[in-house]
Structure 1
Protein backbone atom coordinates (compact mmCIF):
# COMPACT_ATOMS: atom_id res chain seq x y z
CA UNK A 1 0.00 0.00 0.00
CA UNK A 2 1.23 3.57 -0.63
CA UNK A 3 2.57 4.90 2.64
CA UNK A 4 0.45 8.07 2.62
CA UNK A 5 -2.91 6.27 2.51
CA UNK A 6 -2.16 2.84 3.96
CA UNK A 7 -3.98 3.61 7.21
CA UNK A 8 -7.10 4.69 5.27
CA UNK A 9 -7.14 1.40 3.38
CA UNK A 10 -6.77 -0.56 6.62
CA UNK A 11 -9.53 1.54 8.21
CA UNK A 12 -11.79 0.88 5.21
CA UNK A 13 -11.15 -2.85 5.46
CA UNK A 14 -11.82 -2.97 9.21
CA UNK A 15 -14.93 -0.81 8.85
CA UNK A 16 -16.32 -3.20 6.22
CA UNK A 17 -15.68 -6.16 8.52
CA UNK A 18 -17.42 -4.42 11.43
CA UNK A 19 -20.42 -3.51 9.27
CA UNK A 20 -20.58 -7.11 8.03
CA UNK A 21 -20.93 -8.28 11.64
CA UNK A 22 -17.60 -10.05 12.04
CA UNK A 23 -17.40 -8.50 15.50
CA UNK A 24 -20.58 -7.75 17.42
CA UNK A 25 -21.23 -4.51 19.28
CA UNK A 26 -19.28 -4.73 22.54
CA UNK A 27 -16.77 -7.27 21.23
CA UNK A 28 -13.08 -6.72 21.82
CA UNK A 29 -10.95 -6.41 18.68
CA UNK A 30 -7.66 -8.23 18.13
CA UNK A 31 -4.48 -6.28 18.89
CA UNK A 32 -2.95 -3.75 16.53
CA UNK A 33 0.01 -6.15 16.15
CA UNK A 34 -2.38 -8.76 14.78
CA UNK A 35 -3.86 -6.32 12.27
CA UNK A 36 -0.41 -5.03 11.31
CA UNK A 37 0.64 -8.56 10.44
CA UNK A 38 -2.63 -9.34 8.67
CA UNK A 39 -2.43 -6.26 6.42
CA UNK A 40 1.37 -6.21 6.07
CA UNK A 41 1.76 -2.73 7.56
CA UNK A 42 3.57 -1.26 10.51
CA UNK A 43 1.94 -1.20 13.92
CA UNK A 44 1.76 2.59 13.78
CA UNK A 45 -0.33 2.31 10.60
CA UNK A 46 -2.66 -0.20 12.24
CA UNK A 47 -2.95 2.02 15.30
CA UNK A 48 -3.79 5.05 13.17
CA UNK A 49 -6.46 3.05 11.32
CA UNK A 50 -8.06 2.03 14.61
CA UNK A 51 -7.90 5.61 15.90
CA UNK A 52 -9.64 6.64 12.70
CA UNK A 53 -12.54 4.28 13.45
CA UNK A 54 -12.70 5.59 17.01
CA UNK A 55 -13.16 9.12 15.62
CA UNK A 56 -15.88 7.85 13.27
CA UNK A 57 -17.67 6.19 16.17
CA UNK A 58 -17.24 2.54 15.17
CA UNK A 59 -14.78 1.71 17.95
CA UNK A 60 -14.04 2.86 21.48
CA UNK A 61 -10.80 2.55 23.39
CA UNK A 62 -10.90 1.45 27.02
CA UNK A 63 -7.85 2.35 29.06
CA UNK A 64 -5.84 -0.71 30.05
CA UNK A 65 -8.32 -3.04 28.37
CA UNK A 66 -8.24 -2.65 24.58
CA UNK A 67 -10.41 -1.54 21.71
CA UNK A 68 -14.06 -2.51 21.42
CA UNK A 69 -16.81 -2.27 18.82
CA UNK A 70 -19.42 0.33 19.65
CA UNK A 71 -22.75 1.08 18.10
CA UNK A 72 -22.02 3.47 15.18
CA UNK A 73 -23.15 7.05 15.63
CA UNK A 74 -26.20 7.96 13.64
CA UNK A 75 -25.35 10.43 10.89
CA UNK A 76 -27.21 13.71 10.90
CA UNK A 77 -29.84 13.79 8.14
CA UNK A 78 -30.02 17.12 6.30
CA UNK A 79 -33.04 17.44 4.02
CA UNK A 80 -32.77 19.75 1.02
CA UNK A 81 -35.90 20.82 -0.82
CA UNK A 82 -37.73 23.85 -2.13
CA UNK A 83 -40.61 23.12 0.22
CA UNK A 84 -38.45 23.02 3.33
CA UNK A 85 -36.46 26.08 2.29
CA UNK A 86 -39.61 28.18 2.19
CA UNK A 87 -41.55 26.53 5.01
CA UNK A 88 -41.50 28.35 8.35
CA UNK A 89 -39.24 26.76 10.93
CA UNK A 90 -37.47 24.35 8.59
CA UNK A 91 -34.05 25.93 8.99
CA UNK A 92 -30.84 24.11 9.78
CA UNK A 93 -31.55 24.73 13.45
CA UNK A 94 -34.98 23.14 13.20
CA UNK A 95 -33.64 20.12 11.29
CA UNK A 96 -30.95 19.49 13.90
CA UNK A 97 -33.21 20.09 16.89
CA UNK A 98 -35.79 17.67 15.45
CA UNK A 99 -33.10 14.97 15.59
CA UNK A 100 -32.41 15.58 19.26
CA UNK A 101 -29.23 17.62 18.90
CA UNK A 102 -28.37 21.18 19.86
CA UNK A 103 -27.79 23.39 16.79
CA UNK A 104 -25.42 26.35 16.70
CA UNK A 105 -23.96 28.47 13.92
CA UNK A 106 -20.87 30.63 13.72
CA UNK A 107 -20.35 33.15 10.93
CA UNK A 108 -17.97 35.82 9.69
CA UNK A 109 -18.68 38.36 6.92
CA UNK A 110 -16.37 40.51 4.81
CA UNK A 111 -17.55 43.32 2.54
CA UNK A 112 -16.04 44.47 -0.75
CA UNK A 113 -14.34 41.16 -1.49
CA UNK A 114 -13.48 40.98 -5.23
CA UNK A 115 -15.31 38.12 -6.93
CA UNK A 116 -12.93 35.41 -8.23
CA UNK A 117 -13.43 34.38 -11.82
CA UNK A 118 -15.41 31.21 -11.06
CA UNK A 119 -17.70 32.99 -8.59
CA UNK A 120 -18.21 35.87 -11.00
CA UNK A 121 -19.32 33.39 -13.67
CA UNK A 122 -21.84 31.84 -11.28
CA UNK A 123 -23.21 35.27 -10.33
CA UNK A 124 -23.16 36.68 -13.89
CA UNK A 125 -20.98 39.61 -12.79
CA UNK A 126 -17.50 40.74 -13.77
CA UNK A 127 -14.43 39.24 -12.07
CA UNK A 128 -13.34 41.63 -9.35
CA UNK A 129 -16.82 43.06 -8.74
CA UNK A 130 -17.32 43.63 -4.99
CA UNK A 131 -19.22 41.02 -3.01
CA UNK A 132 -20.07 40.26 0.58
CA UNK A 133 -18.41 36.99 1.51
CA UNK A 134 -19.81 35.13 4.53
CA UNK A 135 -18.29 31.97 6.00
CA UNK A 136 -20.60 29.79 8.07
CA UNK A 137 -19.79 26.87 10.34
CA UNK A 138 -22.82 24.83 11.44
CA UNK A 139 -22.57 22.61 14.50
CA UNK A 140 -24.72 19.91 16.09
CA UNK A 141 -24.02 19.20 19.76
CA UNK A 142 -20.85 21.23 19.35
CA UNK A 143 -19.56 19.11 16.46
CA UNK A 144 -19.08 20.74 13.03
CA UNK A 145 -21.39 19.16 10.46
CA UNK A 146 -21.53 21.71 7.62
CA UNK A 147 -19.56 24.60 6.15
CA UNK A 148 -20.82 27.27 3.79
CA UNK A 149 -18.88 29.85 1.77
CA UNK A 150 -21.52 32.36 0.57
CA UNK A 151 -21.13 35.21 -1.97
CA UNK A 152 -23.64 38.03 -2.58
CA UNK A 153 -23.08 40.85 -5.12
CA UNK A 154 -22.89 44.20 -3.41
CA UNK A 155 -24.68 45.69 -6.42
CA UNK A 156 -27.82 44.06 -4.98
CA UNK A 157 -27.45 44.61 -1.23
CA UNK A 158 -25.18 47.64 -0.80
CA UNK A 159 -26.74 50.33 1.37
CA UNK A 160 -29.62 48.10 2.50
CA UNK A 161 -30.22 46.78 6.04
CA UNK A 162 -29.32 43.26 4.86
CA UNK A 163 -25.92 43.98 3.35
CA UNK A 164 -24.29 41.81 6.01
CA UNK A 165 -26.30 38.58 6.43
CA UNK A 166 -25.67 38.06 10.14
CA UNK A 167 -26.19 41.61 11.42
CA UNK A 168 -29.08 44.05 11.33
CA UNK A 169 -32.85 43.53 11.54
CA UNK A 170 -32.85 40.33 9.42
CA UNK A 171 -29.97 38.66 11.22
CA UNK A 172 -30.04 34.91 10.65
CA UNK A 173 -33.22 35.09 8.55
CA UNK A 174 -31.84 33.24 5.54
CA UNK A 175 -31.28 34.33 1.96
CA UNK A 176 -34.92 34.12 0.80
CA UNK A 177 -36.35 36.26 3.59
CA UNK A 178 -33.50 38.77 3.54
CA UNK A 179 -33.76 39.31 -0.21
CA UNK A 180 -37.55 39.56 -0.06
CA UNK A 181 -37.24 42.33 2.54
CA UNK A 182 -35.45 44.50 -0.04
CA UNK A 183 -37.83 43.66 -2.88
CA UNK A 184 -35.89 40.80 -4.47
CA UNK A 185 -38.02 37.68 -4.92
CA UNK A 186 -36.08 34.43 -5.24
CA UNK A 187 -37.84 32.11 -7.65
CA UNK A 188 -35.48 29.18 -7.99
CA UNK A 189 -32.32 27.54 -6.79
CA UNK A 190 -29.86 25.28 -8.57
CA UNK A 191 -27.73 22.83 -6.60
CA UNK A 192 -24.86 20.82 -8.04
CA UNK A 193 -23.60 18.17 -5.59
CA UNK A 194 -20.11 16.78 -6.15
CA UNK A 195 -18.17 14.16 -4.16
CA UNK A 196 -14.84 15.55 -3.08
CA UNK A 197 -12.00 15.14 -0.60
CA UNK A 198 -11.41 17.45 2.34
CA UNK A 199 -8.75 20.10 1.91
CA UNK A 200 -6.47 21.03 4.79
CA UNK A 201 -8.63 24.04 5.65
CA UNK A 202 -11.87 22.05 5.51
CA UNK A 203 -10.36 19.26 7.60
CA UNK A 204 -9.24 21.73 10.26
CA UNK A 205 -12.68 23.34 10.47
CA UNK A 206 -14.64 20.07 10.43
CA UNK A 207 -12.33 18.10 12.72
CA UNK A 208 -11.70 15.39 10.13
CA UNK A 209 -8.64 14.23 8.20
CA UNK A 210 -7.26 15.69 4.99
CA UNK A 211 -8.58 13.60 2.10
CA UNK A 212 -11.73 12.47 3.90
CA UNK A 213 -14.83 12.12 1.76
CA UNK A 214 -17.05 15.21 1.70
CA UNK A 215 -19.93 16.36 -0.45
CA UNK A 216 -19.53 19.81 -1.97
CA UNK A 217 -22.72 21.48 -3.13
CA UNK A 218 -22.63 24.49 -5.45
CA UNK A 219 -25.86 26.33 -4.77
CA UNK A 220 -27.08 29.42 -6.60
CA UNK A 221 -30.28 31.36 -5.98
CA UNK A 222 -32.05 33.18 -8.86
CA UNK A 223 -34.68 35.92 -8.74
CA UNK A 224 -37.85 36.01 -10.83
CA UNK A 225 -35.93 37.55 -13.75
CA UNK A 226 -33.33 34.77 -13.76
CA UNK A 227 -30.62 36.92 -12.17
CA UNK A 228 -28.27 35.11 -9.75
CA UNK A 229 -28.45 36.83 -6.36
CA UNK A 230 -26.35 34.52 -4.17
CA UNK A 231 -24.07 31.55 -4.64
CA UNK A 232 -22.48 29.31 -2.06
CA UNK A 233 -20.19 26.34 -1.70
CA UNK A 234 -21.61 24.04 0.97
CA UNK A 235 -19.40 21.27 2.36
CA UNK A 236 -20.67 18.31 4.38
CA UNK A 237 -18.42 15.58 5.85
CA UNK A 238 -19.63 12.12 4.88
CA UNK A 239 -18.89 10.54 8.26
CA UNK A 240 -21.17 12.99 10.09
CA UNK A 241 -24.07 13.79 7.81
CA UNK A 242 -26.14 12.49 4.95
CA UNK A 243 -27.95 14.58 2.34
CA UNK A 244 -31.56 13.80 1.49
CA UNK A 245 -33.36 15.52 -1.40
CA UNK A 246 -37.12 15.93 -1.08
CA UNK A 247 -39.26 16.59 -4.18
CA UNK A 248 -42.89 17.54 -4.43
CA UNK A 249 -44.86 15.28 -6.75
CA UNK A 250 -48.00 16.77 -8.28
Structure 2
Protein backbone atom coordinates (compact mmCIF):
# COMPACT_ATOMS: atom_id res chain seq x y z
CA UNK A 1 0.00 0.00 0.00
CA UNK A 2 1.33 3.46 -0.89
CA UNK A 3 2.14 5.56 2.13
CA UNK A 4 -0.47 8.25 2.81
CA UNK A 5 1.23 11.67 2.89
CA UNK A 6 -1.26 14.13 4.28
CA UNK A 7 0.21 16.85 6.49
CA UNK A 8 -1.88 18.41 9.25
CA UNK A 9 -4.33 21.01 7.98
CA UNK A 10 -2.45 23.86 9.65
CA UNK A 11 0.64 23.20 7.50
CA UNK A 12 -1.16 23.82 4.23
CA UNK A 13 -1.13 27.13 2.42
CA UNK A 14 -4.58 28.70 2.00
CA UNK A 15 -6.18 27.73 -1.29
CA UNK A 16 -6.75 30.38 -3.91
CA UNK A 17 -4.18 33.13 -4.25
CA UNK A 18 -0.62 31.77 -4.43
CA UNK A 19 1.55 32.32 -1.34
CA UNK A 20 3.20 35.71 -1.20
CA UNK A 21 6.83 36.10 -2.25
CA UNK A 22 8.81 33.88 -4.58
CA UNK A 23 7.31 30.52 -3.61
CA UNK A 24 4.08 28.67 -4.32
CA UNK A 25 2.69 25.23 -3.68
CA UNK A 26 3.38 22.19 -5.85
CA UNK A 27 1.03 19.75 -4.21
CA UNK A 28 1.86 20.00 -0.52
CA UNK A 29 5.45 21.13 -1.15
CA UNK A 30 6.70 24.68 -1.53
CA UNK A 31 8.63 25.43 -4.72
CA UNK A 32 9.92 28.56 -6.41
CA UNK A 33 7.14 30.19 -8.42
CA UNK A 34 9.42 30.16 -11.46
CA UNK A 35 9.77 26.37 -11.21
CA UNK A 36 6.15 25.29 -10.79
CA UNK A 37 5.20 25.34 -14.47
CA UNK A 38 8.13 23.12 -15.42
CA UNK A 39 7.39 20.68 -12.60
CA UNK A 40 3.73 20.46 -13.61
CA UNK A 41 4.92 19.93 -17.20
CA UNK A 42 7.05 17.00 -16.07
CA UNK A 43 3.98 15.41 -14.45
CA UNK A 44 1.90 15.64 -17.63
CA UNK A 45 4.76 14.58 -19.92
CA UNK A 46 4.88 11.46 -17.75
CA UNK A 47 1.14 10.68 -17.73
CA UNK A 48 0.12 11.83 -21.24
CA UNK A 49 0.18 8.39 -22.86
CA UNK A 50 -2.05 6.80 -20.20
CA UNK A 51 -4.14 9.88 -19.39
CA UNK A 52 -7.47 8.69 -20.83
CA UNK A 53 -7.17 5.20 -19.37
CA UNK A 54 -6.32 6.59 -15.94
CA UNK A 55 -9.23 9.05 -16.08
CA UNK A 56 -11.63 6.18 -16.66
CA UNK A 57 -10.09 4.12 -13.87
CA UNK A 58 -9.83 6.93 -11.32
CA UNK A 59 -13.38 8.20 -11.82
CA UNK A 60 -14.91 4.82 -12.73
CA UNK A 61 -16.06 6.51 -15.94
CA UNK A 62 -18.03 9.26 -14.18
CA UNK A 63 -15.79 11.98 -15.67
CA UNK A 64 -17.74 11.51 -18.91
CA UNK A 65 -20.97 12.54 -17.15
CA UNK A 66 -19.25 15.60 -15.62
CA UNK A 67 -18.06 16.66 -19.06
CA UNK A 68 -21.43 15.99 -20.66
CA UNK A 69 -23.08 18.32 -18.15
CA UNK A 70 -20.45 20.98 -18.90
CA UNK A 71 -21.33 20.79 -22.58
CA UNK A 72 -25.05 21.07 -21.80
CA UNK A 73 -24.50 24.20 -19.66
CA UNK A 74 -22.14 25.83 -22.18
CA UNK A 75 -24.84 27.11 -24.53
CA UNK A 76 -22.46 26.66 -27.47
CA UNK A 77 -24.21 26.84 -30.84
CA UNK A 78 -23.35 26.58 -34.56
CA UNK A 79 -20.97 29.32 -35.66
CA UNK A 80 -19.53 29.94 -32.19
CA UNK A 81 -15.83 30.22 -31.47
CA UNK A 82 -14.72 28.21 -28.42
CA UNK A 83 -11.43 28.02 -26.51
CA UNK A 84 -10.77 24.76 -24.63
CA UNK A 85 -7.84 25.52 -22.28
CA UNK A 86 -5.86 22.61 -20.82
CA UNK A 87 -7.82 20.64 -23.39
CA UNK A 88 -5.51 17.66 -23.08
CA UNK A 89 -6.75 14.66 -25.00
CA UNK A 90 -9.71 16.55 -26.43
CA UNK A 91 -12.86 15.21 -24.76
CA UNK A 92 -14.53 18.63 -24.59
CA UNK A 93 -13.00 19.83 -27.86
CA UNK A 94 -14.63 16.91 -29.65
CA UNK A 95 -18.09 17.79 -28.34
CA UNK A 96 -17.63 21.52 -28.98
CA UNK A 97 -16.51 20.75 -32.54
CA UNK A 98 -19.79 18.90 -33.17
CA UNK A 99 -21.79 21.82 -31.76
CA UNK A 100 -20.10 24.72 -33.61
CA UNK A 101 -20.19 22.92 -36.96
CA UNK A 102 -18.44 23.98 -40.14
CA UNK A 103 -19.11 27.69 -39.55
CA UNK A 104 -17.52 27.72 -36.08
CA UNK A 105 -14.10 27.03 -34.62
CA UNK A 106 -12.68 25.32 -31.55
CA UNK A 107 -9.17 26.03 -30.29
CA UNK A 108 -7.65 23.23 -28.22
CA UNK A 109 -4.98 24.88 -26.09
CA UNK A 110 -2.61 23.20 -23.66
CA UNK A 111 0.65 24.34 -22.08
CA UNK A 112 2.01 20.80 -22.31
CA UNK A 113 3.33 19.68 -25.70
CA UNK A 114 2.93 15.97 -24.91
CA UNK A 115 -0.74 16.35 -23.98
CA UNK A 116 -1.36 18.51 -27.07
CA UNK A 117 0.24 15.87 -29.29
CA UNK A 118 -1.87 13.09 -27.78
CA UNK A 119 -5.02 15.20 -28.17
CA UNK A 120 -4.28 16.10 -31.79
CA UNK A 121 -3.59 12.46 -32.69
CA UNK A 122 -6.73 11.23 -30.95
CA UNK A 123 -8.98 13.78 -32.66
CA UNK A 124 -7.47 13.26 -36.10
CA UNK A 125 -7.84 9.48 -35.71
CA UNK A 126 -11.56 10.08 -35.12
CA UNK A 127 -11.94 12.25 -38.20
CA UNK A 128 -11.97 15.68 -36.52
CA UNK A 129 -10.02 18.20 -38.56
CA UNK A 130 -11.70 21.14 -40.30
CA UNK A 131 -12.88 23.35 -37.43
CA UNK A 132 -10.21 22.62 -34.77
CA UNK A 133 -6.98 24.54 -34.18
CA UNK A 134 -4.20 23.40 -31.81
CA UNK A 135 -2.22 25.97 -29.83
CA UNK A 136 0.40 25.48 -27.12
CA UNK A 137 -0.51 28.21 -24.65
CA UNK A 138 -0.19 29.27 -21.02
CA UNK A 139 -3.53 30.03 -19.34
CA UNK A 140 -1.98 33.04 -17.59
CA UNK A 141 -0.88 34.64 -20.88
CA UNK A 142 -3.23 33.57 -23.64
CA UNK A 143 -2.01 34.44 -27.16
CA UNK A 144 -5.40 35.65 -28.39
CA UNK A 145 -6.91 39.11 -28.90
CA UNK A 146 -9.51 40.58 -26.55
CA UNK A 147 -13.13 39.56 -27.16
CA UNK A 148 -12.29 36.50 -29.31
CA UNK A 149 -14.47 33.65 -28.01
CA UNK A 150 -18.12 32.94 -27.28
CA UNK A 151 -17.10 30.39 -24.65
CA UNK A 152 -13.94 29.41 -22.78
CA UNK A 153 -13.62 26.13 -20.91
CA UNK A 154 -10.94 24.72 -18.65
CA UNK A 155 -11.48 21.20 -17.32
CA UNK A 156 -9.25 19.80 -14.57
CA UNK A 157 -6.53 22.31 -15.39
CA UNK A 158 -6.99 25.40 -13.22
CA UNK A 159 -5.58 23.72 -10.11
CA UNK A 160 -2.23 23.33 -11.90
CA UNK A 161 -1.94 27.04 -12.75
CA UNK A 162 0.54 29.04 -10.66
CA UNK A 163 -1.38 32.34 -10.59
CA UNK A 164 -5.05 31.43 -10.81
CA UNK A 165 -6.24 35.04 -10.47
CA UNK A 166 -4.14 36.10 -13.47
CA UNK A 167 -5.44 33.14 -15.48
CA UNK A 168 -9.05 34.04 -14.65
CA UNK A 169 -8.44 37.64 -15.74
CA UNK A 170 -6.91 36.52 -19.03
CA UNK A 171 -9.68 34.03 -19.74
CA UNK A 172 -12.17 36.82 -19.09
CA UNK A 173 -10.23 39.14 -21.39
CA UNK A 174 -10.47 36.82 -24.41
CA UNK A 175 -14.22 36.22 -23.95
CA UNK A 176 -16.64 38.24 -26.03
CA UNK A 177 -19.18 40.32 -24.08
CA UNK A 178 -21.91 37.88 -23.09
CA UNK A 179 -19.48 34.99 -23.44
CA UNK A 180 -19.33 32.23 -20.85
CA UNK A 181 -16.43 30.86 -18.83
CA UNK A 182 -16.79 27.24 -17.69
CA UNK A 183 -14.44 25.79 -15.07
CA UNK A 184 -14.78 22.06 -14.39
CA UNK A 185 -12.56 21.06 -11.50
CA UNK A 186 -12.23 18.81 -8.49
CA UNK A 187 -13.56 20.60 -5.43
CA UNK A 188 -14.54 20.03 -1.80
CA UNK A 189 -17.07 17.29 -0.89
CA UNK A 190 -20.06 18.68 0.97
CA UNK A 191 -20.45 15.64 3.26
CA UNK A 192 -17.78 15.05 5.97
CA UNK A 193 -18.01 11.27 5.63
CA UNK A 194 -17.62 11.48 1.87
CA UNK A 195 -14.67 13.84 2.38
CA UNK A 196 -12.86 11.31 4.59
CA UNK A 197 -13.53 8.45 2.19
CA UNK A 198 -12.35 10.62 -0.72
CA UNK A 199 -9.10 11.41 1.11
CA UNK A 200 -8.43 7.72 1.74
CA UNK A 201 -9.12 6.93 -1.91
CA UNK A 202 -7.07 9.82 -3.28
CA UNK A 203 -3.95 9.34 -1.19
CA UNK A 204 -3.84 5.55 -1.29
CA UNK A 205 -5.65 4.18 -4.35
CA UNK A 206 -4.65 6.85 -6.89
CA UNK A 207 -0.86 6.54 -6.46
CA UNK A 208 -1.17 2.75 -6.40
CA UNK A 209 -3.17 2.76 -9.66
CA UNK A 210 -0.67 5.21 -11.13
CA UNK A 211 2.16 2.83 -10.33
CA UNK A 212 0.38 -0.27 -11.63
CA UNK A 213 -1.07 1.24 -14.83
CA UNK A 214 1.25 4.12 -15.74
CA UNK A 215 4.39 3.12 -13.86
CA UNK A 216 4.32 6.47 -12.06
CA UNK A 217 3.01 6.82 -8.51
CA UNK A 218 4.65 10.20 -7.83
CA UNK A 219 2.67 12.05 -10.50
CA UNK A 220 -0.62 10.74 -9.14
CA UNK A 221 0.45 11.61 -5.60
CA UNK A 222 0.94 15.18 -6.87
CA UNK A 223 -2.47 15.15 -8.59
CA UNK A 224 -4.14 14.11 -5.32
CA UNK A 225 -2.30 16.83 -3.41
CA UNK A 226 -3.10 19.48 -6.03
CA UNK A 227 -6.81 18.73 -5.63
CA UNK A 228 -6.61 19.41 -1.89
CA UNK A 229 -4.79 22.71 -2.46
CA UNK A 230 -7.37 23.97 -4.96
CA UNK A 231 -9.84 26.67 -3.81
CA UNK A 232 -13.19 25.48 -2.50
CA UNK A 233 -16.43 26.28 -4.31
CA UNK A 234 -17.18 29.65 -2.71
CA UNK A 235 -13.56 30.83 -2.88
CA UNK A 236 -13.36 30.11 -6.60
CA UNK A 237 -16.71 31.78 -7.21
CA UNK A 238 -15.41 34.92 -5.45
CA UNK A 239 -12.23 34.82 -7.53
CA UNK A 240 -14.35 34.76 -10.68
CA UNK A 241 -16.30 37.77 -9.41
CA UNK A 242 -13.01 39.61 -8.83
CA UNK A 243 -11.87 38.76 -12.37
CA UNK A 244 -14.80 40.78 -13.72
CA UNK A 245 -17.33 38.04 -14.47
CA UNK A 246 -21.00 38.33 -13.51
CA UNK A 247 -23.78 35.90 -12.61
CA UNK A 248 -21.14 33.52 -11.27
CA UNK A 249 -22.46 30.25 -9.87
CA UNK A 250 -21.45 26.64 -9.44
CA UNK A 251 -22.98 23.20 -9.70
CA UNK A 252 -21.80 20.49 -7.33
CA UNK A 253 -21.56 17.02 -8.80
CA UNK A 254 -20.91 13.70 -7.08
CA UNK A 255 -21.40 15.31 -3.69
CA UNK A 256 -19.02 18.20 -4.38
CA UNK A 257 -16.11 15.97 -5.42
CA UNK A 258 -16.32 17.96 -8.67
CA UNK A 259 -17.89 21.37 -9.31
CA UNK A 260 -18.69 23.23 -12.50
CA UNK A 261 -18.26 27.00 -12.09
CA UNK A 262 -19.85 29.31 -14.65
CA UNK A 263 -19.54 33.06 -15.16
CA UNK A 264 -20.51 35.58 -17.86
CA UNK A 265 -18.43 38.45 -19.26
CA UNK A 266 -20.54 41.64 -19.03
Q: TM-score, normalised by structure 1?
A: 0.31
* Higher relative strand content: 1
TM-score, normalisation: structure 2: 0.30
Q: Relative contact order (alpha carbons < 8 A, sep ≥ 6): 1 or 2 greater? A: 2
Higher helix proportion, which one?
2
